Amino acid sequence: MFGLKIVKSSYINTLKKDLDEAISYSSRLKRNYEDARSKITELKEKERYLNTLVDSLDMDIDSKDSHIVKMGNELSKSRELYNESVKEKETLKRAYMDIEKKHKLSSKLLDEARRRYKEIEEQNKAMSDRIQYLENHIDPEALDGDVSDEVIVEEDKMDPNSGHIDIPENNISEVTGTDAGNDVNVENKTEEKKKSKKRKKTKKDE
């Protein structure tokens, strides 16, 4: 009987020990559960933050995609405008080169026209001086009545450069004016000589 009590007491102690361990284990499980719930709550908050961040990034990506598309369109348009500008530049360059060539040619023609006009002007002046010299050195009284009123100029005393020279149309009027003035002077002086001869002949007959 006494042995049975000892066994019973030992069994009860063992059960108490097991119960204490079970309670301790249960407490640990409870603490772990609370920690797990806290971590789950924290993870849920992080998940919400990450979802918000993902949404924000998606919006940024969409905005950037739209901006990239807009920039791509602008780039295409800029390239088209640039190509048109390059073509226009080449056209203007060719036009400028043509104008420059024409300008050089017109300048050359103008210089040539000026040079020829100056030559003709000098020739006309030389001829006018020669005519004036001959008129001043020919004595009308010494001329015979049958002698022609024509003034003959020796070819070797003529200006060697007095040949015909073509000049541009824009200088024709100026040169023609000079020649016309010289012709009028010569005609007037020839007419005066004729009248002078007639007067002298009349006096002789009387």
Between CA 178 and CA 157 the distance in angstroms is 22
pLDDT at 127: 93
Domain that holds residue 108: 98-205
Q: Is 115 left (phi over 0), alpha (psi -120 to 50) or beta?
A: alpha
- Residue 45 resides in a domain: no
| Residues 22/29, Cβ–Cβ less than 8 Å | no
- Residue 87 resides in a domain: no
- Residue 124 resides in a domain: yes
| Residues 111/169, Cβ–Cβ less than 8 Å | no
Residue 45 CB coordination number (10 Å): 10
pLDDT tens-digit profile, the chain (206 residues): 555 666 667 778 888 888 888 888 888 899 999 999 999 999 999 999 999 999 999 888 888 888 888 888 998 999 999 999 899 989 988 998 888 888 888 888 889 999 999 999 999 999 999 898 888 887 666 555 544 555 444 444 444 444 444 444 444 444 444 444 444 454 555 566 556 555 554 544 44
- Residue 134 resides in a domain: yes
pLDDT at 178: 44
- Residue 150 resides in a domain: yes
> What is the total count of domains within the chain?
1
- Residue 54 resides in a domain: no
Q: Residue 33: what residue type?
A: Y
- Residue 118 resides in a domain: yes
Query: Quick one: CA dihedral 172, 174, 177, 183, positive or negative?
Result: negative
pLDDT at 142: 57
CA-based Rg of the chain, rounded to a whole angstrom? 64
Q: What is the dihedral of CA 69, 75, 77, 83, to 10 degrees?
A: -160
Would the pTM of this model clear 0.75, i.e. be above it? no
- Residue 128 resides in a domain: yes
